[in-house]
Amino acid sequence: MKVISTSLKDVLLIEPTVFEDKRGFFMETYQKETYRELGIDSDFVQDNLSFSVRGTLRGLHYQLSHAQAKLVQVITGEIFDVTVDIRRDSPSFGQWTGFRLSDKNKRQIYIPEGFAHGFCVLSETAIFTYKCSDLYSPDCERGILWSDPVIGIDWPVENPVLSEKDRNYNYLKDIPPEHLPN
Catalytic residues: 61, 130
Helices and strands: H and E segment counts in the chain: 2, 13
Q: Taking a C-beta distance cutoff of 8 angstroms, is the pair 50, 58 a contact?
A: yes
Residue among 153, 50, 39 nearest 98 (CA): 153
At 56, give phi and psi (nearest 5°): -65, 135
